[in-house]
Amino acid sequence: MTARIEKYTPQDQEDLLRTKWIAASNRLSALLVNKRDEIIKLAHYRGMNLGIQEYGDKAFFKTREQLSYETMCELADAIFYQAIYDIKERQIIP
């Protein structure tokens, strides 16, 4: 029986994720297509509720460059989560 890992070191994380970025981005693209309507509803809820409560109208005053950069950062985070999801789905980690 394999001992359960209680903490993943930065090196553990790097080793697990190193080769997963492209596959994760492809899976994220498919998720955006396959779950589009659900994602739009979630975006509306999060933007109109959580976003307004936390940020008010600040997003409307950001430049296009700022919005583009923030979008890329959010997508990068989504790829990160998708990569971990893929690792778990393949039972590489519990």
65 lies in some domain: yes
74 lies in some domain: yes
46 lies in some domain: yes
Q: What's the structural domain count of the chain?
A: 1
The boundaries of the domain holding residue 52 are: 42-89
Q: Check whether 54 has a pLDDT greater than 50.
A: yes
58 lies in some domain: yes
% pLDDT > 90, the chain = 86
If you average pLDDT over residues 30-37, what whole number do you get? 97
61 lies in some domain: yes
57 lies in some domain: yes
SS3 of 44-88:
HHHHHHHHHHHHCCHHHHCCHHHHHHHHHHHHHHHHHHHHHHHHH
- pLDDT tens digits for range 68-86: 999 999 999 999 999 999 9
Q: Check whether 6 has a pLDDT greater than 90.
A: no
Contact 9, 68 (CB under 8 A): no
If you average pLDDT over residues 39-61, what whole number do you get? 93
pLDDT at 1: 43
